[in-house]
Amino acid sequence: MALIHPYIRRGFRLLLPMVLAGTGLNAQEQPVPSQQHLEITGTHHLRLTYDFTVVWPRGGGYNATFHLPIPPDTGTQHIEHFSSTLKGQVETDQAIPPHRVLTATLHHNNGDERELHWRIQITGLFTTHQLVDGSAAPSKNLIPAPLPNEFLASTESINWNSDAFQGWLDSSGLRRLASETPSRYGARVFDYFKAHGRYSYPPETAWNAAAICHHLHTDCGGFSLVFTAACRANKIPARLLVGQWFKTRELADKTLDLTGRQSHVIAEFFDPQIGWIPEDISSTLLKVPGHADTNFFGREPGYFFTWHTDTDFHFAVPQKPDEHVQWIQNPSLWFSKNAESASNSISHSWKLETLD
C-alpha cells in the first residue's frame, strides 16, 4: 500500500472546537401555535458499508488526492460511528456551518499494487417521517434550532441575493407574506414547482439558483437549490441534503430489504414549531412508484443518507490550485497529469444492514 501524506488545502483549516450561542429565530418566527407536526414513520439502526475501487494507470510516479465528507448529524440521521480504511486528515472549510472533509494524498510507484480498495463504514440511527395535520403530543424534547446565521447565507450556488433571483421572487409572487408561517410558505413554493417545474436531466442551465429559477427545467439538485434559495431569501433557514436514497421495504420481522439505491439531493427548511421539514419535488414530478401518493412535501420517499449539507467546496488539486466542486455524492478523486484514464476504472458498491 502506498504511503499517505498530509495534504493541507487552501481554504481549509484544521478542525477546531467551535461554540456558538443563540436560537437563530427572527422576530417574525417566534413560536406560534402549529396545526401540523412531523410524525415518525420508521426508525432503524443501520450499518452502511461503502466500497470504492479504482485501478491506477500503468507505470509509476502518479499522485492522487481523495476528498470525502464526514457525514453530519441532521436530526433524521444520527451518526454513531464512521471509519475509513484510507487514513488522511480531517479539515473544515469556511461554510456556515462548516463541512468536515477527510483529505488524503497517495503516491503510486512502479511495483505498487494497481488496484486501490477503499472501504467506508457508517453506523447510526435513521428515521423517516412525514408532515401530518394536528398538534403533536406534549414533549419535553425541544426542537433544536439552527444557530445564528446557519443555513441563511447566499452562496455561489444558492445565490438568492442576485438581481436575477430577486426579480424571480417578485414575478412569481413568492415573497413571504407578513403572517405566513415557514411551513405554509414552503408549501406554497412546492406548489409553484408542481405547477411550473419540469424534471430534466441533465438540467438545461448551470446548477445555481439564479440560473434555474426562471424556467425550472432541472433535476433534483437544481430544484433543491431554488427551493433553499427561496426560503433563505425570506429569512427561513433551509439546506440541501446531498447523498444517497436507499430504496427499501420493511419485512415482517421489521428488518429492511434493500431494493435499490440512487444518488439524490433533497431540501429541508426549518419551522421553529415543527422542526426540519423535507421536500422532494423531483420525486413528485417523476411520480416515483411504490408509494400511496406522490406528494413528497414533508415526506421523504425512503431512508436518506446524507454525505453533506449544501454545496460549494474548494480544493487545491494536483492540476488546479482552486477547484470548485458543488457536491460530493461519491469520493472526489483527482489524479496528477496523464492519469485521467484511471477514472474509467472506478467502481462503487453499497451494503445496508439492519442492526439489533
End-to-end alpha-carbon separation of the chain, Å?
Answer: 35
pLDDT digits (tens, 9 = 90+) for 69-104: 999 999 999 999 999 999 999 999 888 899 999 999
pLDDT (mean) for 19-28: 38
Most confident of 35-44, 166-175, 253-262, 285-294: 166-175
Percentage of residues in the chain with pLDDT exceeding 90? Answer: 65
Q: So what's the pLDDT on residue 265?
A: 97
pLDDT at 25 over 80: no
- What mean pLDDT do residues 41-68 have? 91
Cis peptide before 97 (omega within 30 of 0): yes
Q: Alpha helix (H) ranges present in 67-199? A: 163-172, 182-196
Q: Pairing between strand 198-199 and 217-218?
A: parallel
Q: Which residue has the higher pLDDT, 70 or 59?
A: 70
Lookup: cell for 274: 415543527
How high is the pLDDT of residue 135? 83
**Residue 11 binned pLDDT confidence (cut-offs 50, 70, 90):** very low
The predicted pLDDT at position 9 comes to 36
More confident residue, 330 or 28: 330
> Across residues 210-214, what is the average pLDDT?
96
Q: How far apart are CA 266 and CA 98, in angstroms?
A: 19
Residue 209 and residue 192 in contact, taking contact as beta carbons nearer than 8 Å: no
pLDDT value, residue 174: 98
Domain with CATH 2.60.40.2250 in the chain: 4-17+44-123+311-354
Q: Identify the pLDDT of residue 141.
A: 64
55 pLDDT more than 60: yes
Would you tell me how many other CB atoms lie within 10 Å of the CB of residue 147? 17
Mean pLDDT of the chain: 87
169 burial via Cβ count (<10 Å: 0-12, 13-18, 19+): middle
- pTM assigned to the model: 0.88
DSSP-derived pairing of the beta strands 13-14 and 100-108: unpaired
Average pLDDT over residues 105-119: 91
pLDDT in tens, 308-352: 999 999 998 888 889 999 999 999 999 887 776 777 789 999 999
Cα 299 to Cα 307: distance, rounded to the nearest angstrom? 19
pLDDT, tens digit, for every residue of 116-155?
A: 999 999 999 999 999 999 987 776 566 788 998 999 999 9
The region, left, alpha or beta by phi > 0 then psi within -120 to 50, assigned to residue 287 is left
Q: Which of 266, 179, 171, 181 is nearest to 227 (CA)?
A: 266
Determine the pLDDT at residue 61.
84
* Cα gap 108→59, rounded to integer Å: 9
Q: What is the pLDDT of residue 17?
A: 31
> Does 12 have pLDDT greater than 50?
no
Do residues 345 and 109 make contact, with C-beta atoms less than 8 angstroms apart?
A: no
Condensed to tens digits (0 to 9), the pLDDT of residues 272-313 reads 999 999 999 999 999 887 666 778 999 987 899 999 999 999
Between 261 and 177, the more confident residue is 177
Rg of the Cα atoms in the chain = 21
C-alpha triplet 80, 86, 90: angle, nearest 5°: 65
Please state whether beta strands 303-309 and 238-250 pair in parallel, antiparallel, or not at all (unpaired): antiparallel
Query: Which pLDDT score, from 0 to 100, does residue 182 have?
Result: 97
CATH of domain 4-17+44-123+311-354: 2.60.40.2250
Q: For domain 149-301, which architecture applies?
A: Roll (3.10)
Q: How many residues are there in the chain?
A: 356
DSSP structure string for 186-208: HHHHHHHHHHH-EE-SS-SS-SS
Looking at the chain, which residues constitute the CATH 3.10.620.30 domain(s)? 149-301
Region 206-210: mean pLDDT is 95
Q: Check if the beta carbon of residue 118 is closer than 8 Å to that of residue 86.
A: yes
Q: Give the angle 231-235-241 at the CA atoms, nearest 5°.
A: 45
Statement: residue 5 has pLDDT above 80: no
**How high is the pLDDT of residue 319?**
81
Q: Is the pLDDT of residue 28 over 80?
A: no
Among 79, 120, 87, which Cα is nearest to 103's? 87
Residue 6: the pLDDT is 33
Reported as a pLDDT band with limits 50, 70 and 90, residue 254 is: confident
> Which pLDDT value is given to residue 2?
35
From residue 296, alpha-carbon distances to 129, 174, 292, 305 in Å are 11, 20, 11, 17
The least confident of 4-13, 63-72, 207-216, 265-274 is 4-13
